[in-house]
Amino acid sequence: MTETLIKERTGDTRGVGRPAGRRRPRATRPRWEEPPTAAGQTAKGLTLGAVVAVVLVPLWIVVATSLSTQATVNRAGGLVLWPEEITFEAYRVMLGDSTVRNALVVSLGITLVGTALSMAVSILCAYGLSRPRSVAHRFILVLLIITMFVNGGLIPTFLVVTGLGGYGEWWSLILPSAVSVFNILVLRAFYKDTSADLIEAARIDGAGDWRILWSIVLPTSRAVTAVVALFYGVGYWNSFFNVMLYMPTDSEKWPLQYVLLTYVNRGNGLPGSVNSGFGTQFSQTAPLSLQMAVVVLTLVPLLLVYPFMQKHFRVGVLTGAVKG
Amino acid sequence: MSGVDTEPPVRSRRLSLRVRLRRDRTLLLMTVPAVGLLLVFNYVPLFGLLTAFQDYNPLVGVWQSEWVGFAQFEALFSDSLFWGALGNTLYLSFVQLLLFFPIPIALALLLNSVLSERLRNTIQSIVYLPHFFSWVLAITIFQQMLGGAGLLNQFLRRNDIGTWDIMTDPDTFVLLVTSQAIWKEAGWSIIVFLAALAAINTDLYESSAVDGAGRWRRLWHITLPGMSGVIMLMLVLRLGNALTVGFEQFLIQRQAVGHEAADVLDTFAFYYGIATNNYSYGAAAGLFKSVISLLLIWGANKLAHAFGEDGLYRK
Percentage of residues in chain A with pLDDT exceeding 70? 81
The pLDDT assigned to A16 comes to 39
Q: How far is CA A202 from CA A123, A157, A208, A213, B106, in A?
A: 19, 43, 8, 11, 48
Cα gap A132→A137, rounded to integer Å:
8
First to last CA, chain A: 61
Low-confidence ranges of chain B (pLDDT < 70): 1-13, 311-315
pLDDT tens, position by position, B27-74? 999 999 999 999 999 999 988 888 889 888 877 777 778 888 888 899
Instruction: Kindly list the distances between the CA atom of residue B27 and the CA atoms of A323, B2, B7, in Å, as whole numbers in the listed order.
Output: 21, 11, 17
The distance in angstroms from the start CA to the end CA of chain B is 36
- Within-domain flag for B120: yes
- The C-alpha angle B148, B149, B150, rounded to 5 degrees, equals 95
Quickly state the pLDDT bin for A268 (edges 50, 70, 90).
Answer: low
B66: phi then psi, degrees, rounded to nearest 5 = -75, 135
Residue from B249, B117, B119 nearest A51 by CA: B119
CA distances from B119 to A50, A199, B26, B125 (A): 15, 40, 47, 10
Asked if the structure places residue B20 within a domain, the reply is: no
pTM exceeds cut of 0.90: no
Q: What is the interface size between A and B, counted as CB pairs within 8 Å?
A: 285
Domain count, chain B: 1
Q: Does residue B315 belong to any structural domain of this protein?
A: no
How far out from the chain centre does Cα A35 lie?
39
Q: What is the pLDDT of residues A78-110, one digit of tens each?
A: 888 888 888 888 888 888 888 888 999 999 999
Rounded to the nearest 5°, which phi and psi values hold at B243?
Answer: -90, 0
pLDDT > 50? residue A11: no
Q: What is the ipTM, given to two decimal places?
A: 0.86
Distance CA A259, CA A248 (A): 11
Q: What CATH number is given to the structural domain containing B81?
A: 1.10.3720.10
pLDDT higher than threshold 50 for residue A274: no
B34 within some domain = no
Q: pLDDT for A15-35, tens place per residue? A: 334 444 445 556 678 777 888
- State the fold for domain A90-318: MetI-like fold (1.10.3720)
The range of the structural domain enclosing residue B114 comes to: 71-307
Contacts of A44 in chain B (CB under 8 A): 110, 113-114
Mean per-residue pLDDT over chain A, rounded? 81
The candidate with the shortest Cα–Cα distance to B182, out of B95, B64, B242, B59, is B95
Nearest CA to CA, how far is B136 from chain A (Å)?
6
Under 8 Å between Cβ of B75 and B281: yes
**How would residue A171 be classed by pLDDT, with cut points 50, 70 and 90?**
very high
For residue B61, being part of any structural domain is answered with no
Distance CA A238, CA A166 (A): 20
Q: Give yes or no for a contact between B233 and B120, defined as CB atoms under 8 angstroms apart.
A: no
The B residues from 6 to 65 touching A (CB cutoff 8 Å) are: 6-7, 9, 12, 17, 20-21, 23-24, 26-31, 33-35, 37-38, 40-49, 51, 56, 61-62
pLDDT of residue B91: 94
pLDDT in the model for residue A71: 83
The pLDDT value given to residue B314? 61
Residue type, A116: A
pLDDT band at A282 (very low <50, low <70, confident <90, very high): very low
pLDDT band at A50 (very low <50, low <70, confident <90, very high): very high
Domain boundaries, chain A: 90-318
CA–CA dist B296, B178 (Å, integer) = 21
Average pLDDT of the residues in A196-224: 88
Q: What's the one-letter identity of residue B213?
A: A
- The pLDDT of residue B67 is 86
